[in-house]
Structure 1
């Protein structure tokens, strides 16, 4: 975890190095009055780096100018105080003063200073992880992508021909866009700022451009990792080359920023550029191209600067960053995961102590919490648990002080949990884990709003917390008495459900809030004939949990490591998709059956179970459980099967409306989207015609009529319980690249679909079933399957029927028609309807009208039911 916590805290430091309009250039009071001496005294203290002592004379001067009703000088003093509190890291006070300053300049009618202070307030919002608030102050181009709204900072700067204010506003806007993950706009804004001839800002702007290209490179690397997982080696190589190009651009910008900072003796920006250079140079992708001597010199320079700069929150983070620097390594082994190697092992402790001393002198509880927590982690890695716990407890207190560092509190609660666990104190370990998850749940939306890359870094920053806790709970079960063991399993199930909920929310991003349904509704949904299988994957083994009606939950382990499990699962799925193999080899399917189902088969038979519902984890989400094989038959030949991202997200209602209507949309023509060609679907037209005959009053939109606008118009006029879309769909590692192909070579993103359904059709109260045929997710891409797993929840429908991979539309027509025919029978559940349709293809030799080749699981297995299976 340490290497990833370092990344999170580094972001806090880097984004605080924004364009400061007046750093060491405070506005002064012109006239010679009693308050002027106090103002000058504060300015001298500020410029000497004694920010804390500068406050008192300014506060006294502020009272004088307020009493004499001198609004101009009142505004100037408030500006100075705002900047000083920002330097001290006390952002709430800084924001409060800037809001007052903005009101002052509005009252004075001073448009130029109004615009400039809007920019400074925006920078404060960005520093505190509120980039969207910053964007609203700086431009707010929501109504028009090219024009800023009136009374925003950039609009005011341009209308008053304030080039300096425009450069600052553009730079700040670029940093805000960077934090939202909008790299293209961030780079454009920063380049526009750089083009304005104000050299004083160029150092910061170049540094920010380096950050933007670094983050864009990280984004490309994540695409590469996703492609690598699914075996697309060429695509992975392309993405890595793009990442390398971005890193090279970033390194060049950091070098330019450093040279400018050196020439202008701008030590704060010099430190920022040095740290960025050093950290980027450690990246395995670019490190072979970097001169080691140059980086060693930069590291020496940064260490020297650390003792020259005045106390500030940035200096605290700089010391922590230096302590946590890692050597360039290509991988972090599981053993190193918690405690990766340090580049400066002999200096790490003293650097962290230095960071703590600075934070304590500043009385900055936020940066103090990071310094204390990192010291705790340092001693944790030395196996000095007593001292580690002392620092960690202090970090918790500092983080919780006035709620100044809630986004770090969960880290220290998690750290305390590990330490209690290492000391053999299970009660306190469990309590600390629970506090960590509760804190994280409270702040997760703020994290998402602050940085869209948290969606990707979730596996690194947040996901391991839930897994650590669940693993600790489940591994204790065998050592506990029966009653306590069952309580521990029930608690672990809540942890697992919380993990699945968090995974979905992080995949879909900041606009998505899922509300779990009450436990009573979950029990109502399950019924007496249904068994629930849950899985959770750990490094060395995988837990399978079975819940039967009115029975305690059972736990069994798959005792293989996660990599072996991944390889087995991928082999199983690749075998399913090879429809050219005339004889299907069921051995991989039998292996998985033996691991997941066979340990529980006696209990399933005894309970009279006819429906299995799977809430899967990780790579297990990417395969159809229907195709597991017991040596004689497929699992779906015995049970109806469904899947759900989480029981707590599955609505329990059963559709009772007998007059079902379908809005059917389809594409028959060949299409090209995003440079990718999708083949024609020649049987889609007859597939949709079959639906119209089964469900009178239905409507079809085919080919050119299949557009987002037509979909929206139809849903706004008529309530359709069934929305059937027969077209190519692609589910990717990121929601933005998950889409359905529509007419005229256009696409409908998952976000478009969700928005359309929710806006015009009362959301989850109207659409009972969303069917997507001809969709596909890539083998081995477990993140892509989150989009498929969560589509029912995200789009606001009760159930989704979709395919894991693309198959010829002739067999799809056969299976889908059979499914709807089955489901139209009274009392037939969706899961039963699908299982009967799949069985009919499995027994194709008994039905002359069905092609015998459809017996191969490639043709029937990919269809899965997601959500409410009733």
Structure 2
């Protein structure tokens, strides 16, 4: 500990040393890049200058020499030559050429990281142009307006690099308006593409996607160009962020093809596209392809793209435990890091590298001292201050505080964290602020300030809730991971709230926090905020509509399993079991495996009883006193992978005592009882083998039996196509949609689907089909039944797909199965379910219970493998 403290004492002096300005940055800076791809700069006024009468040769020669030096990336010499050209043009009184030179000077100063000079130069250029005409934007000469638009392009670039995204967006919109006025299509497209980068920085990814899609449609018919390649790459990057990974990769491949055909014009565009392809392959969890893409990006680039590609490659190697390869790459990166010119990219690169070195150290690899790692981050802090990039300052300070936290120097860590918080709050960057609130909460907890810790954690969760749409799309440079960077915040806050004897307020807040986690998980699954409509609280349902229902909230924490119980018209109750999260997952996983084996009844019951004891045994007397008939579970984590019906008290299964329902959160689409007189069903299914899936020979029997119980439209085999399904769903207000076909629930949205005769309907397509119908018809679908779907094998979070369908389909209730079923028993259960539902005026949950009990009492189907996997999600009434 003494050595750690002395190390950070030296680092604090290093920061003070840097702050005094002794260390300065910048020799070479290539074209700056924003978060999701290189922006497009005007081509040094080549198009405009040709229309201008040339002035004094010496000045013109200097200007041309400056351009040549800039193109050769000799930025320091270029700046000196441009300065001489400016003096010469001033001597000649050539105002227009002065403005052009000032703009090029600003561009050059940006490459050198001389931000004050860059800002002053571009302001002078624009002021000079405006001074030449009172209404240059509208009525000035074509050449002057083109030069002004190009100057605005450069100003927008500077503003974005300095973290002023809103100003950049406004500036680029002004440039676009000028380009449109003078009918400069290339300039207009360039400005619109740049504007989408500002939108992305502001978190408006959907708007950026819409704009880029429009641009892409225009670009498709144009000849190959750098502009076309960059526009396609920008669209591919946005598609990745919003979760359309397959389309992202396809568009990026198109960009690469264009860039390859114009290789001599812009080799840098090729390396940028390889990098983007690597990022998309990483998001697809295609590690071999991603590593290959990153290697090619590094091999074809001499700019900051190379270091970015190598850093991403290093992170992948570490995640894949390829430690020898990772160490070899570290040596390459170490040699380059000191030479990085000052920019936001350089700042994030240093922090990214420091994070990877910490991972190597955590994996037991020797040779990476905390002093070296801390120096990387300290230099990043000073670079950010020199650039006056407040976002980067906040991010770097917070990461430096994290190193102090790692060495348990909580006081210093708290001071730095609070500095980072003050800055991030002042400039309104919630995707960084939530992290430092979380960090502050951890530090306060470590120092024994539980009340303060709860406040900080609560603020972090509040910010995450406000992000919603943008949560999945925050700055990729920050290396966002839902499971590592979001989920722990919720669970750690709940842990704080439920310490000792929690108050009623703490119980209410803990329950709300878990609901927020459930919704955030679904948002992350769909890459968009998914809960829509006008939901109602479960509490009001059981207090006012169903006083025989109780709600149970199990919460899996690191070292215990907490349960919150809500009974009608009563305050919340709470109990817990001391057990590790890994042990809970192990037993749940074992039960899942045993329950689907036909000859393991005793083992299934033993495991079921263990979980029953955790979740229900302490609540049994309260349930009895309140005469509870229905249990509604808001399940957490791995508990979603098993049906609650199979829980066993030593004498009876849970389904023998209670009707059971699940809900993904505390809110439901306005629940109401199924109207018995108005039930009309649309059923669809496939009996034959299709697309590698086995035949379902009893599906025809299942659909015929349903038809005998209620009015039904049937789509069987060839009739069950995506087109006919959509046509039917839009034509009649069906209350029930029953799909007897293969399907799969997965933790990946693109692997959650329903099989049709002619293809697959994935979860987003199903959502679109059903919601089109809901927007055009007054009545919601009351019940969606998926009778032959199953959760993806080996996917521990596969039930996210089921919860996702339940939430996004717009149906009040969804009935599905957790594992593959014997289709003969399925036909019997479904027939019994509809018979109970239509003839006995039962709730959906009770009708399902009676159908399950009918199977349980049948000697052929007594094992839980047959009757247990059916789950009702959503409204149980």
Does the pair score TM above 0.5? Answer: yes
For residues 33 and 311 of structure 2, the distance between their equivalents in structure 1, rounded to whole angstroms, comes to 9
Q: Could you say if the C-alpha distance between residues 304 and 793 of structure 1 is closer, same or farther in structure 2, counting changes exceeding 3 Å?
A: closer
1:296 offset after TM fit, Å?
4.6
1:620 offset after TM fit, Å?
0.4
2:289 to 240, 246, 263: 246
For residues 341 and 717 of structure 1, the distance between their equivalents in structure 2, rounded to whole angstroms, comes to 68
Whether 1:680 and 2:687 are equivalent positions in the alignment is no
CA contact (8 A) 1:683 1:810 kept: yes
For residues 349 and 91 of structure 1, the distance between their equivalents in structure 2, rounded to whole angstroms, comes to 29
Whether 1:859 and 2:860 are equivalent positions in the alignment is no
1:619 offset after TM fit, Å?
0.7
1:839 offset after TM fit, Å?
1.6
Give the TM-score of the pair, scaled to structure 1. 0.84
Q: Could you say if the C-alpha distance between residues 639 and 778 of structure 1 is closer, same or farther in structure 2, counting changes exceeding 3 Å?
A: same
Aligned position for 1:812: 826
After superposition, the C-alpha distances for 1:785-832 in whole angstroms (9 at most, x for unaligned) are: 012134232101111111111221111121111122112245421111
Q: Could you say if the C-alpha distance between residues 45 and 824 of structure 1 is closer, same or farther in structure 2, counting changes exceeding 3 Å?
A: closer
After superposition, the C-alpha distances for 1:604-640 in whole angstroms (9 at most, x for unaligned) are: 2222112111111011011111111111111111111
2:402 to 373, 377, 382: 377
Aligned position for 1:537: 556
CA contact (8 A) 1:284 1:329 kept: no
CA contact (8 A) 1:640 1:831 kept: yes
CA contact (8 A) 1:530 1:611 kept: yes
Trace 1:350-361 onto structure 2 (pairs within 5 A).
350-361=375-386
Aligned position for 1:411: 435
Whether 1:106 and 2:183 are equivalent positions in the alignment is no
Aligned position for 1:67: 131
For residues 684 and 821 of structure 1, the distance between their equivalents in structure 2, rounded to whole angstroms, comes to 17
Aligned position for 1:209: 274
2:632 counterpart SS class:
strand
Give the TM-score of the pair, scaled to structure 2. 0.83
Whether 1:568 and 2:587 are equivalent positions in the alignment is yes
Aligned position for 1:641: 660
Aligned position for 2:724: 710
2:811 counterpart SS class:
coil
For residues 456 and 787 of structure 1, the distance between their equivalents in structure 2, rounded to whole angstroms, comes to 22
Q: Could you say if the C-alpha distance between residues 162 and 839 of structure 1 is closer, same or farther in structure 2, counting changes exceeding 3 Å?
A: closer
Aligned position for 2:469: 445
Aligned position for 2:255: 190
- Of 191-200 and 18-27, deviating more is 18-27
2:852 to 822, 831, 838: 838
2:122 to 55, 58, 72: 58
**RMSD (Å), alpha carbons:** 3.1
CA contact (8 A) 1:764 1:798 kept: no
CA contact (8 A) 1:522 1:648 kept: no
For residues 654 and 387 of structure 1, the distance between their equivalents in structure 2, rounded to whole angstroms, comes to 58
Aligned position for 2:512: 494
Aligned position for 2:214: 140
1:467 to 488, 491, 497: 491
For residues 679 and 784 of structure 2, the distance between their equivalents in structure 1, rounded to whole angstroms, comes to 13
Aligned position for 2:769: 756
For residues 807 and 367 of structure 2, the distance between their equivalents in structure 1, rounded to whole angstroms, comes to 43
Trace 1:620-631 onto structure 2 (pairs within 5 A).
620-631=639-650
2:661 counterpart SS class:
strand
CA contact (8 A) 1:723 1:770 kept: yes
Trace 1:218-233 onto structure 2 (pairs within 5 A).
218-220=283-285
Trace 1:36-47 onto structure 2 (pairs within 5 A).
36-37=97-98, 40-41=101-102, 43-44=104-105, 46-47=107-108
Whether 1:783 and 2:797 are equivalent positions in the alignment is yes
For residues 699 and 61 of structure 1, the distance between their equivalents in structure 2, rounded to whole angstroms, comes to 71
1:524 offset after TM fit, Å?
4.4
2:284 counterpart SS class:
helix
1:543 counterpart SS class:
strand
Q: Could you say if the C-alpha distance between residues 524 and 392 of structure 1 is closer, same or farther in structure 2, counting changes exceeding 3 Å?
A: same
1:140 offset after TM fit, Å?
2.7
After superposition, the C-alpha distances for 1:332-373 in whole angstroms (9 at most, x for unaligned) are: 7xxx9xxx9994521232322222222222222211110121
Aligned position for 1:319: 350
For residues 451 and 713 of structure 1, the distance between their equivalents in structure 2, rounded to whole angstroms, comes to 41
Aligned position for 1:163: 225
For residues 18 and 533 of structure 1, the distance between their equivalents in structure 2, rounded to whole angstroms, comes to 47
1:347 counterpart SS class:
helix
Q: Could you say if the C-alpha distance between residues 65 and 353 of structure 1 is closer, same or farther in structure 2, counting changes exceeding 3 Å?
A: same
After superposition, the C-alpha distances for 1:673-696 in whole angstroms (9 at most, x for unaligned) are: xxxx3222222222222222211x
Aligned position for 2:742: 728
For residues 39 and 345 of structure 2, the distance between their equivalents in structure 1, rounded to whole angstroms, comes to 14
For residues 455 and 553 of structure 1, the distance between their equivalents in structure 2, rounded to whole angstroms, comes to 38
After superposition, the C-alpha distances for 1:397-430 in whole angstroms (9 at most, x for unaligned) are: 2112242x22111111111111222222222222
For residues 327 and 838 of structure 1, the distance between their equivalents in structure 2, rounded to whole angstroms, comes to 53
Q: Could you say if the C-alpha distance between residues 424 and 199 of structure 1 is closer, same or farther in structure 2, counting changes exceeding 3 Å?
A: farther
CA contact (8 A) 2:542 2:550 kept: no
Unaligned runs of 5+ in 2: 1-31, 56-88, 134-143
Aligned position for 1:549: 568
Q: Could you say if the C-alpha distance between residues 595 and 737 of structure 1 is closer, same or farther in structure 2, counting changes exceeding 3 Å?
A: same
CA contact (8 A) 2:391 2:427 kept: no
